[in-house]
Structure 1
Amino acid sequence: MKKLTIYPYSPFDIDSGMTIFESKNSTFIWQLSRFLSGEDINIAILSENNKILKVSKETRYIGDVTTVPDFNKIFGKQIAEILVKHCDNDLIQKIQVTDFSLKNSILQVIFDNDLPLEIAESFDVLKLLKYLELSIENIKCESVYDIIEYVIDIANRLADNSLYVFINARYYLSDEQIISLGNEAKIKNVSILLVSLTLSSVIHEITTDDVVTYFIDGDFVDFRSDGQK
């Protein structure tokens, strides 16, 4: 379980499922959004098991979802690494032999034409896989619900335990949809965080086994149910 610590409040627990974080204070939400996007801003600390985490590595910042996000930008850095994990030793050896053959052919062209060139001798399977232009399957998302549901599905299939951060996505979701997505995220062991600015002065709480709601009002007062404190 990850914890988001924001002075002077008690740490906010962020587990698998859906966590909603709302505030009426626009400056607070803006600063928190910047922090969660990986910017070096000292407003909070993200931790797990008493170890401070590097936000840029531990979160997948989706941001505002008024447009369908580029899923390859979100997951692109890890898909090759995950593919390699599923390759057995025999396949890795075949790829290495292919790499050696290709390099020999290129070296022959260099020598035959007396070109002042050289190539790397090291074998890097991740670089080779870039040649394949791996990408996330393209599907049609027609709503914010579809986007979050697809992110949950991809994260589960890639076994990615990052924290997925959406900004103002709650505006586009009904309570029933949030409960449904929270349940799916909990089952698939995915952590979804919805951060939103609200005009309300009171908490609109959706709290189930799969959904937790936090609310900071315009005067920076922390509201959460007794079971969350």
Structure 2
Amino acid sequence: MKRLSIYPYDPFNIDIGITILESKNSKLIWRLSRFLNDGEDDVAVLSENSKILKVNKATRYIGDVTTVPDFNKTFGKQFAEILVKHCDNDLMQQLQTADFSIKNNILQVIFNNDLPFKITENFDVLKLLKYLDLSIENVKCESVYDIIEYVIDIANRLSDSSLYVFINARYYLSDEQIMLLANEAKIKNVSILLVSLTLSSAIHEITTDDVVTYFIDDDFVDFRSDDLR
């Protein structure tokens, strides 16, 4: 379980499923968004098992979903690493042989033309796969619900334990949709954090074990859905 600590509040627990953090304080939401995006703002600390996490490694910041995110940017670094895990020794040997053949041909051109060039002789399967322009399959997302559902599915298929962060996504989702997404996230072992600026003066709780709601009002009072049970 991850924990988001924002002074002076008790830590906000973020578990599998959907966690909602809302506030009427626009500055707090803005700073928190910056922190979760790249860790540059010092408004919060993200931890797990009492160990402070690097935000850029522990989270995948989707941000505002008024447009469909670039999923290749979100997941791109993982594609080749995941693919390599599924390559057996025979296939790795074939890739290395192909890599050697390509480099040998290029070296022959360099030597024949007395060119002042050099290339690496080391075999790097990740660079080889990058050359293939590995990308995620096309997906049609026609709503915020579709986007989050797709993220949950891909995160599950990649066995990614990152915290997925969406800003103001709750504006576009009904309570029923959030419950459906939370149930799917729970089943697929994915953590989703919905951060939103709200005009409400009270916590709006969604009554399901798969959703935890936190609300910070104008006076920086911290209300939690657990407090209402």
Normalised by the length of structure 1, the TM-score is: 0.97
Quote how far apart the aligned CAs of 1:207 are: 3.8
Quote how far apart the aligned CAs of 1:219 are: 1.0
Amino acid corresponding to residue 174 of structure 1 in structure 2? S
What percent of counterpart residues are identical?
79
Query: 2:224 is matched with which residue?
Result: 224
- Equivalences for 1:79-98 in 2 at 5 Å? 79-98=79-98
Quote how far apart the aligned CAs of 1:228 are: 8.9
Matched, 1:169 2:164: no
Give structure 2 stretches of 5+ with no counterpart.
Answer: none
CA distance in 1, matches of 2:48, 2:17: 16
Aligned to 1:105, what secondary structure does the other structure show? helix
Deviation string, structure 1 residues 61-95 (Cα, Å, up to 9, x no partner): 00000011111010011111111111111111111
Change beyond 3 A, Cα 1:68–1:226: closer
Matched, 1:181 2:209: no
Query: 1:130 is matched with which residue?
Result: 130
Deviation string, structure 1 residues 89-127 (Cα, Å, up to 9, x no partner): 111111111111111111111111111111011111000
Amino acid corresponding to residue 52 of structure 1 in structure 2? I
Q: What RMSD, in angstroms, separates the aligned Cα atoms of the two structures?
A: 1.3
CA distance in 2, matches of 1:18, 1:200: 20
Aligned to 1:130, what secondary structure does the other structure show? helix
Deviation string, structure 1 residues 148-167 (Cα, Å, up to 9, x no partner): 00000000001101000000
* Count of equivalent residues: 229
The 10-residue stretch of structure 1 (88-97 or 52-61) with the greater mean CA deviation from structure 2: 88-97
Query: 1:24 is matched with which residue?
Result: 24
The 10-residue stretch of structure 1 (103-112 or 168-177) with the greater mean CA deviation from structure 2: 103-112
Quote how far apart the aligned CAs of 1:39 are: 3.4
The 10-residue stretch of structure 1 (203-212 or 56-65) with the greater mean CA deviation from structure 2: 203-212
Query: 2:147 is matched with which residue?
Result: 147
Matched, 1:201 2:197: no
Query: 1:160 is matched with which residue?
Result: 160
Normalised by the length of structure 2, the TM-score is: 0.97
CA distance in 2, matches of 1:225, 1:21: 11
Change beyond 3 A, Cα 1:226–1:153: closer
